[in-house]
Amino acid sequence: MTGTDVLDLWDASAREHPDAPALVTAHRVLSYRDADRLTDAWAASLAARGARPGELVGLAFGDPARTVLGMLAALKAGAGFTVLDERLPPAARAELVHRTAAAVWLGDGGHAPEGAYAPAAPDGGEGADGTEGPGAARPAARAAASDAAYVLFTSGSTGRPKGTVVERDALRRFAGAVAGRLGLTPRDRWLQVASLGFDVLIEEVFPAFAAGAAVVCREDSRALDAEELHIALSRTRTTVVELSTQYWLEYARWLEHTGTTTPAALRTVVVGGERMDPRPYRAWQARQPAGLAHVYGLTECTVSSTFYTGLLPDDAEDVPLGTPLRDVEISIRRDGRRVPDGETGEIHIGGPLLARGFLDDEAATARRFVPDPEASRPGARLYVTGDLGRIDADGQLVFRGRADDQIKIRGHRLEPARVERALCAVAGVDQAVVFPDPEAGTALWAFTVPADPAAAPLPGGAERLTGADRDALVAPLEAELPDWAVPRVLYRVSALPKNPHGKVDKRRLATWATAGTGAGAPPVPCAPRPGPGDPLGGVLDLFREVLDAPGLGPDDDFFDHGGQSLLAMRLLARLRESHPAAAGLRASALFASPTPRLLAKALTDRENTRT
């Protein structure tokens, strides 16, 4: 894969495989020849409106296929692109539109900024603004390797979203490296499932184009639940798909529950985003035909930096993050200096795949993109990830938690993950989380989920362990950990609650623990259940189960009680098992019917319509 610009990879694929599919939609397959001509015309239209090197093109489509074509067209005009997520609140969208100062916007629908236009559709013909279909020549402007390829924003969950500026050379190197690592060929099809505006979109598109493979697009940007994902993978003969860790776990759970295996064409599932438990990883590798690629990376380093594709050993305590891509430099450091392999330190990423920095934020750029004190070449930089890791004996990067997850107990620094792994090694423990007591912060609390559901307390409660139950957990830890690292207050729960971001909700656990739901205390009361024959009863039970909220009432809102997209997928999957009317119902139906009563009525109405 040669050339000096990311477009050289596209041009090579279009030249060598003109009749191969480049973009697969529900209504049409665009060959590389067709997609090349169409995006040339889009690029000419963009250039006429001011798109050029050094400028940005904004994309505000709800249609993934148009978004992909718009990214390619912007690059052909010499400009970079940014993608506006339609799920953002209006004020947040307006701020990002202002901050990017795009020269021109492509888009349609209610979330598109004023002045945005929609060029010729993928099925040819005339665009919404009157522009003609394919036929116009590509602009002659040639961008430099250091010009921006795209700007994408972080979630902003801890503050103002940061716009990460990735240059064209970094995108070119990244696309070729991922295509090589995954062995992509023109026979591959990569299903696009990431949210538009999320950096995984970059990984779903440009490595495929670099290899002459096809990008398969959904009809819209709504999330697919596990069953819908499986159907889409099968129907489109997808060979590669990338899922977040929690999304993959939902899909794996659905496959296991239904006794299904991955579609015959699917060969690789790329998974990343959160720490991976080795047990479901090994279970997948033992049962599913599709292989796994565990990835690690950050938006600031051009999506993924490391890949692990090996068969996880039976005694592995962690799923490795893998080894670096070509042109990526991974080092483990303390105070800027490398530590020996095997020792834990902060993960630093270097090399030409690093982003330029943060849009119009020199101070934040200087804090996270720092000079490499050990580099031999002038100007070498490192990105300080804030993640802890080590290099194991096989040269694999292993994640060890966040640097800011470290806690101090009785004057000692401790990584809670170390204690959590020790607890999970005790027979009968399935999951565990450890954190300091919220009052004084001087003692460790541990919450465990038993492997046997029959041994768990009622959902929404924490049972304080005493006597032999407590000793059975503490004794193995005392044999492995120093005294100050052994939790002295232990609870048993039915599940570890998650916040809307998919992380363990430690605040809720602390609330359960202090609510008097320990050993000998009365259980958390459940709200009254509807009588026999009332369809509301079954729906209410599933709401309570999925949200881990036994006191949930018929008129309580799913989203007000911790519901989010992945839990919505789980709820709909469970509903389909017992309610025939739920067949074909998408998780988005919960937005219209977010309470058990409303959803039960919606299901009844669907059933009456069918009969």
> Would you say residue 517 has pLDDT above 50?
no
* Ranges 156-165, 184-193, 247-256, 572-581: which has the least confidence: 156-165
pTM of the predicted model over 0.75: yes
Confidence check: pLDDT of 593 > 60: yes
pLDDT digits (tens, 9 = 90+) for 69-85: 999 999 999 999 999 98
Whether 396 shows a pLDDT value over 50: the answer reads yes
**Of all helices (H) and strands (E), which one includes residue 383?**
strand 381-391
For residue 181, what pLDDT is reported? 98
Mean pLDDT lowest among 83-92, 132-141, 492-501: 132-141
Beta-sheet pairing, 268-272 with 291-297? parallel
pLDDT at 531: 53
Helix H, strand E, coil C: the string for 461-511 is CCEECCHHHHHHHHHHHHHHCCHHHCCCEEEECCCCCECCCCCECHHHHHH
Q: 433-489 pLDDT, tens per residue? A: 999 877 656 578 999 999 998 899 988 889 989 888 888 998 998 887 777 788 888
pLDDT at 412: 57
Distance CA 174, CA 193 (A): 20
The CA–CA distances, whole Å, from 139 to 41, 74, 189, 515 equal: 9, 11, 29, 67
What count of residues does the chain have?
Answer: 611
Check residue 274 and give its pLDDT: 79
Task: State what percent of residues in the chain have pLDDT above 70.
Answer: 89
What would the pLDDT profile of 95-131 be if each residue is shown by its tens digit?
A: 899 999 999 999 987 889 999 999 876 654 444 443 4
Nearest to 399 by CA among 384, 386, 414: 386
Higher-pLDDT residue of 261, 153:
261
- Measured CA distances, 325 to 178, 181, 301 (Å): 7, 7, 11
Confidence category of residue 134, pLDDT binned at 50, 70, 90: low
Structure tokens at 363: 């101070």
CA triple 97-137-24, angle to 5 deg: 65
The token duo for 44 is: 């000419």
Pick from 268-282, 380-394, 493-507, 578-592: least confident: 578-592
Q: Compute the distance between CA of residue 305 and CA of residue 297 in angstroms, rounded to an integer.
A: 5
Over residues 585-606, the mean pLDDT reads 85
| pLDDT, the chain, mean | 87
Looking at residues 533-555, what average pLDDT do you find? 81
Q: 542, 585 in Cβ contact below 8 A?
A: no
Q: What is the per-residue pLDDT for 562?
A: 56
Q: Please report, for residues 363, 493, 513, the alpha-carbon distance to residue 457 in angstroms, rounded to integers and kept in the order given.
A: 49, 6, 12
